[in-house]
Amino acid sequence: MQPRGNVRGIILTMLILLLLARGESHGYDIMQKLRMITQNRIRASPGTIYPLLEQLRKKGYVKSTEKSHGKRKRKTYILTSKGKLLLKNYAIGIKNILNHIIKLIDETIPRIGKVKVGGEMEEMMKNEMKILLEIRENIDRRIMEIHKLLKERED
């Protein structure tokens, strides 16, 4: 299954599945972890996170249980085996997409030739390339972690 839908939704879904692959969590905790791991680039509101978690639950990708947290109960979520498969497919799909984007960048930049750009523009382009390469490295590392995690859980 290839990821489908808007890019933000796909990335958000994959990040939630990645977080749940590390262990059970509740919605607020997921929102905080998303902010942390994306360096505040993704700030999903409760109005986004909770409906997405419910949608994942209805489709069987996560399951939920109510647990006491202080004086109130919180719904915690955990990844199912169906969710692990979805995560694996999303990770491979997103990695393929990023590889195509990087290939396109690598093919296009030399065709453009030397372009005189101001210091600010040049710095921005260098930063964007650095970010893309970091994303690629992070996805490669995450895929390896997912494979390891899934293999450990199978054993």
| Residue 54 lies inside a defined structural domain of this protein | yes
Nearest 5°: CA angle at 54, between 48 and 58?
145
pLDDT at residue 1, rounded to an integer: 47
| Residue 150 lies inside a defined structural domain of this protein | yes
- This prediction has a pTM of 0.65
| Residue 46 lies inside a defined structural domain of this protein | yes
The CATH number covering residue 131 comes to: 1.10.10.10
Report the C-alpha gap between 91 and 155 in whole angstroms: 22
| Residue 88 lies inside a defined structural domain of this protein | yes
pLDDT at residue 61, rounded to an integer: 96
What's the total number of domains in the chain? 1
With residues binned 3-state (H G I as helix, E B as strand, rest as coil), the percentages for the chain, rounded to 5, are: 70, 10, 20
| Residue 51 lies inside a defined structural domain of this protein | yes
Domain holding 36, by residue range, is 7-154
Handedness of CA 21, 133, 124, 111 (dihedral sign): negative
| Residue 50 lies inside a defined structural domain of this protein | yes
Ordered mean pLDDT values, 10 residues apiece, the chain (155 residues): 65 91 92 88 87 95 87 90 91 86 85 67 78 83 82 73
| Residue 2 lies inside a defined structural domain of this protein | no
pLDDT at residue 131, rounded to an integer: 83
| Residue 1 lies inside a defined structural domain of this protein | no
pLDDT at residue 2, rounded to an integer: 47
Q: Across the chain, where does the E strand assignment appear?
A: 25-26, 62-69, 72-79
pLDDT at residue 117, rounded to an integer: 61
